[in-house]
Structure 1
Amino acid sequence: MQILHALSFLLDYPTAGVIEANRDLQKIISESALPGEDKNALSDFLMQRCSGDLMEWQAEYDSLFERGRALSLLLFEHVHGESRDRGQAMVNLLKQYREAGLEIGVRELPDYIPLYLEFLATQGDENAELGLQEVAHILALLAARLEQRDSNYASIFRALLAMSGVSIDLEDVREQIINEQRDDTKEALDKVWEEEMVTFGPDATADGCASAVNKPSEGQRKDQLVPISWADFKDVGQGDVQRGNES
């Protein structure tokens, strides 16, 4: 599914390669089965980003997705936080990737959204839709939070939500987060730094993720349905809001 490859590319760390591929990406968007509103929003996103300064784009990307947890591109961050359950969930997801014939680099975290989209893009349209349905509530939450910050990255998550076929009232999600305290301010980041203990050794978890998505090879199986083990996402948004309000 080309549109999933394209959206994965656009959600990964911005490089000159995105600007060079601008015309091809616009073509994929225009030929996709997305609703016209989502096509126009994605086309505008690409036009605006590729006509601006790359270093400014990269700096904005870092400030959005690398500071705080509210906009983390790691799926399990929104489900398990820093609990031990997150580590086991990633092991399980990695196992499921491998059972589908996919191998990822040692520096990749399996719940990194661009990587997850690359995986779904190799599994056929029906399986890709099912995979998006399993994370639809996280996609809606990220879309609403990005809208709140006036970021056009929200268009990517709205498009993914449309592709999932799941009917989620975004207005309801917006209401849930309206009083949510931001976790990317200097004060919030300082508080996290003070509260979190630094661990070393084999049990230490890596911060962040690699900036390049590993592309599955053409020889990897595309016809196997691999159900992903997720938590029940019905309460994910509300749980995040409650955590934000507690700080």
Structure 2
Amino acid sequence: MSPLPSTVPGIVRTRVRAALRRPDRTPRTTPLTPEETERRALLLRLISLLLQYPDADLAAARPVLTASVEALPPSPAAEHLAEFTVWFAGQETDALERHYVERFDLCRRSGLHLTYYLHGDTRRRGMALLTLAQRYRAAGWDTDGGELPDHLPVVLEFAALAGPGRGEAPLRQHRRGIELIHRALTDAGSPYRHVLAALIALLPPPTGADLRAVAELAAEGPPNEDVGLDPYGTYGAGEFAPPGAFVPPDQAPPALVPPSAAHRQEDR
């Protein structure tokens, strides 16, 4: 990958270069050429960046992100990202922030915390978060602790770092949740649907069972547990609990703190 130009804002240089410096200790099982692997990792990193909260620094990096997308070799994923960056580049920062909060922090069916869609507000979610954190540490990667380990941009960065085999395993495991997020964004007419579509284009095609499970999840919501979940709060029947309201169960380690999205909402 060619060096990042000096005009790239510091936040992007830090996020991308730090990722590139981390060793890839996960053996790859997918028969990709080095060029294909590098190209795939770049796509995953771009998707991760575009799904992060569009603060002033990330908004300032839009020209470089747009140019990076335009330089991608033709592919379905690149086409979807190009569709998104046209909108992304033309919005005011305040409008971007509002749209992001509305779609990902406040909308129950398009939050970016993947274990919620698989486990809902049950004790299994705490264990799933712990398992993800352990997977990252085993690969020699430490997150900065700013988000839960199931936050989609975090999962995407790990996939880019660790490679198409074990690195992308969490994405494949949570494919149904990713499909549901894409469906919710599409129903809402959000341009972020293009970013999710780019990710889906990199994943194996959904099976019939996947599609049936997504339809059921959209209709009924994730699993729920009535006993011992007072810290999670009370929500209406059949509603999705906002991801920002999640409090890990007792067995989760102290490092798994609520997502920074909740703090953004308090600050607004």
TM bucket, shorter chain: 0.5 to 0.7
Shift of 1:29: 2.3
With over 3 angstroms needed to count, the CA separation of the structure-2 counterparts of 1:143 and 1:98, relative to structure 1, is same
> 2 CA distance for matches of 1:40 and 1:202?
41
The one-letter code of the counterpart of 1:156 is: V
- CA 1:179–1:105: 2 relative to 1, 3 Å: closer
| One of 162, 186, 206 as aligned partner of 2:201 | 162
Match of 1:185 in 2: none
Offset of residue 54 of structure 1: 1.0
Identify the range of structure 1 (46-55 vs 96-105) with the bigger mean alpha-carbon deviation: 46-55
Structure 2 contact 182–196 (Cα < 8 Å) conserved: yes
Per-residue deviation, residues 187-237 of structure 1 (Å, max 9, x unmatched): xxx9728999x99999499885136xxxxxxxxxxxxxxxxxxxxxxxxxx
Q: Is 1:145–1:177's contact at 8 Å kept on the other side of the alignment? A: no
Q: Which of 117, 130, 133 matches 2:156?
A: 117
Q: Which residue of 1 aligns with 2:95?
A: 56
Partner of 1:209: 259
**Separation (CA, whole Å) in 2 of partners of 1:152 and 1:181:** 25
Give the Å deviation of 1:162: 0.7
Distance 2:74 2:257 in 1: 34
Task: Give the 3-state SS of the residue equivalent to 1:111 in structure 2.
Answer: coil
For residues 79 and 20 of structure 1, do their structure 2 counterparts lie closer, same or farther at Cα, with a shift above 3 Å needed? same
Q: Compared with structure 1, are the counterparts of its residues 177 and 45 closer, same or farther at alpha carbon in structure 2 (3 Å cutoff)?
A: farther
Aligned residue identity for 1:161: I
> Residue in 1 aligned with 2:21?
none
- In the other structure, the counterpart of 2:235 is 192
Give deviations 1:132-174, integer Å, cap 9, x for gaps. 33322222111111101111111111111111132457xx57x
In 2: Cα distance, 1:74 partner to 1:139 partner: 10
* Alpha-carbon contact 2:44-2:157 (below 8 Å) kept: yes
- Structure 1 gaps, min length 5: 183-189, 212-247
The letter for the 2-side match of 1:13 is Y
1:52-82: CA deviation from partner (whole Å, max 9, x where unpaired):
1111111111111112431111011101111
For residue 5 of structure 1, the aligned residue among 16, 21, 45 is 45
User: How many Å separate the matches in 2 of 1:103 and 1:71?
Assistant: 26
Q: Are the equivalent residues in 2 in contact too, given 1:132–1:161 (CA < 8 A)?
A: no
Q: In structure 2, how many angstroms separate the alpha carbons of the residues matched to 1:4 and 1:83? A: 29
CA RMSD across the alignment: 3.7
Find the aligned partners of 2:169 and 2:218 in 1 and give their Cα distance: 32
Give TM-score scaled by structure 1 length.
0.67
- Following superposition, the deviation at residue 48 of structure 1 comes to 1.4
Mapped partners of 1:123, 1:33: distance in 2? 22
Matches for 1:72-83 after TM superposition, within 5 Å: 72-83=111-122
Separation in structure 2 between the aligned mates of residue 76 and residue 126 of structure 1, nearest angstrom: 20
Runs of 4+ in 1 over 6 A off after TM superposition: 193-196, 198-202, 204-207
1:97 equivalenced with 2:117 (yes/no): no
SS at match of 1:101: coil
User: Is residue 147–residue 258 contact of structure 2 (8 Å, CA) maintained in 1?
Assistant: no
- Kindly tell me: are residues 24 and 84 of structure 1, through their superposed partners in 2, closer, same or farther at Cα, counting changes over 3 Å? same
Aligned residues of 2:47 and 2:195 also touching (Cα < 8 A): yes
Q: Are residues 1:70 and 2:116 paired?
A: no
Cα gap change, 1:201/1:90 in structure 2, threshold over 3 Å: closer, same or farther? closer
Q: CA deviation at 1:18?
A: 2.7
- Equivalent position of 1:35 in the other structure: 75
What is the match of residue 28 of structure 2?
A: none
